[in-house]
């Protein structure tokens, strides 16, 4: 692996931006305030920000690569390879693919979740980003409980989320546009979809016990758990009691406050920050951040969002950039137990972004280093040169 030297730049060291140079050796940051030494590859980072790579706890944008139009499928391996390129080119060096395992057939079915998990496992060595499996279990998908329990026991799930979108599904069935979108996604006829929802709802009484059993399986496997769209403090408290210490998109301030008071991580969507509000009309993430009620921002459905959101928060005066960046890097790394990344420090994983911040609100990625490898470069003039060690043939005396 080629050692890399980053000359100059304003690096996020601790809570400050510091003018310094970095040396990368192997997969790690070898030295802060370094000289080039014997590094074969040097990059001019002067006038650029040097930031730790983005850790994306929840991103499902890969679904659009799998099904860019309703009913139009592409191979999973092709979709994942393209998603990896998109993630890296937006500064995401650790990506958790949020894969829904639902009672509905099609894109979000248990069969598709299994195929995605297997594809991630096969392709992981080829990806530039550290790619992990975030399983989003729809709690009414009772038939999948046994298989999911096996995946957890086998260590195939990196983080495990409890989702319950049944109330929303029932409500959306009365809205023609949303109903059509759901039906198209499943590949069923409208009548078949109605019958399926009716069958699933008839087993509602079995859901709480299933959730408890799966939570126990996740605890036994030491897998981090999340609960999605907690609507009340009581709901958050119930999931916390089962070991789910990450609150994903709590729908109101009261629930977010309960989570923070108990020391839980709280996740909101970076697109919410970039757009100035939730597309669902729920909580404004920037308001929660200003009140200290958010520790993680995730790409959700749009890979460019985490990078843009951090700079938006700084420009709007919600947080200084040094603190805003923690929401997309150190915060999610801490929440998921990844102690080797999320900060620029000696001995930590060399996931590093070089960012041109000269245009307000429009940060431009110049380079991405992922696990010590140059994975993305948009300005070749920043290369200071590559030194190639020349081998010499032994001289044989006559």
Each residue's pLDDT tens digit, 329-356: 999 999 999 999 999 999 999 999 999 9
pLDDT at 394: 37
Structure pTM?
0.92
Q: How many CA atoms lie within 13 A of 230 on its CB side?
A: 30
Pairing of strands 265-269, 296-298: parallel
For residue 387, what pLDDT is reported? 52
Domains and CATH numbers, the chain: 4-52+344-386 (2.30.40.10), 54-335 (3.20.20.140)
Residue 185 pLDDT: 79
Q: Mind giving me the DSSP string for 89-154?
A: HTTEEEEEEEEEEBSSSGGGBHHHHHHHHHHHHHHGGG-SSEEEEEEEEETT-GGGHHHHHHHHHT
Sign of the dihedral through C-alpha 31, 37, 42, 45: positive
Nearest Cα to Cα of residue 92 among 309, 278, 245: 309
Do residues 1 and 33 make contact, with C-beta atoms less than 8 angstroms apart?
no
Distance CA 242, CA 248 (A): 15
Q: Find tokens 């931006």 and name the residue.
A: 17
| pLDDT, one tens digit for every residue, the chain (398 residues) | 679 999 999 999 999 999 999 999 999 999 999 998 888 899 999 999 999 999 999 999 999 999 888 778 899 999 999 999 999 999 999 999 999 999 998 888 999 999 999 999 999 999 999 999 999 999 999 999 999 999 999 999 999 999 998 888 888 788 888 888 888 878 888 899 889 999 999 999 999 999 999 999 999 999 999 999 999 999 999 999 999 999 999 999 999 999 999 999 999 999 999 998 776 667 899 999 999 999 999 999 999 999 999 999 999 999 999 999 999 999 999 999 999 999 999 999 999 999 999 999 999 999 999 999 999 999 999 998 765 443 333 333 32
pLDDT in the model for residue 279: 66
What is the spatial distance between Cα 318 and Cα 307, in angstroms, rounded to a whole number?
Answer: 15
């Amino acid at each position: 692996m080629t050692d890399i030297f980053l000359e100059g730049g304003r690096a996020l060291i601790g809570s400050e931006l510091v003018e310094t140079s970095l040396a990368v050796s192997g997969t790690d940051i070898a030295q802060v305030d370094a000289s080039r030494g014997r590094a074969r590859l040097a990059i001019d980072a002067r006038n650029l920000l040097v930031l730790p790579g983005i850790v994306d706890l929840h991103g499902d944008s890969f679904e659009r690569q799998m099904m860019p139009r309703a009913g139009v499928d592409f191979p999973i391996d092709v979709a994942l390879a393209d998603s990896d390129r998109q993630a890296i080119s937006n500064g995401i060096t650790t990506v958790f693919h949020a894969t829904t395992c639902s009672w509905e057939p099609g894109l979000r079915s248990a069969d598709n979740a299994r195929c995605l998990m297997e594809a991630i496992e096969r392709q992981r060595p080829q990806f530039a980003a550290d790619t992990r499996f975030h399983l989003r279990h729809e709690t009414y998908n009772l038939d999948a409980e046994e298989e999911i329990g096996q995946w957890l026991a086998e260590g195939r799930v990196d983080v495990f989320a409890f989702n319950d979108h049944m109330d929303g599904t029932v409500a959306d069935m009365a809205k023609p546009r949303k109903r059509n979108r759901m039906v198209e996604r499943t590949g069923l006829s409208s009548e078949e979809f109605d019958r399926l929802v009716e069958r699933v709802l008839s087993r509602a009484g079995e859901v709480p016990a299933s959730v408890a059993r799966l939570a126990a399986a996740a605890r036994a496997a030491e897998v981090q758990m999340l609960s999605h769209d907690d609507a009340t403090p009581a709901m958050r408290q119930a999931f916390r009691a089962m070991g789910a210490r990450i609150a994903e998109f709590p729908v109101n301030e009261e629930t977010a406050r309960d989570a923070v008071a108990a020391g839980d991580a709280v996740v909101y969507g970076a697109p919410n920050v970039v757009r100035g509000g939730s597309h669902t009309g729920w909580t404004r993430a920037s308001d929660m951040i200003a009140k200290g009620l958010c520790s993680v921002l995730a790409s959700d459905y749009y890979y460019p969002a985490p990078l843009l959101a951090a700079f938006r928060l700084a420009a709007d005066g919600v947080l200084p950039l040094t603190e805003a960046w923690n929401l997309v890097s150190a915060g999610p790394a801490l929440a998921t137990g990844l102690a080797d990344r999320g900060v620029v420090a000696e001995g930590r994983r060399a996931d590093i972004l070089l960012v041109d911040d000269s245009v307000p609100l429009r940060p431009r990625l110049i380079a991405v280093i992922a696990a010590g490898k140059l994975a993305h470069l948009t300005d070749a003039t920043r290369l200071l040169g590559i030194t190639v060690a020349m081998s010499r043939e032994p001289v044989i005396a006559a």
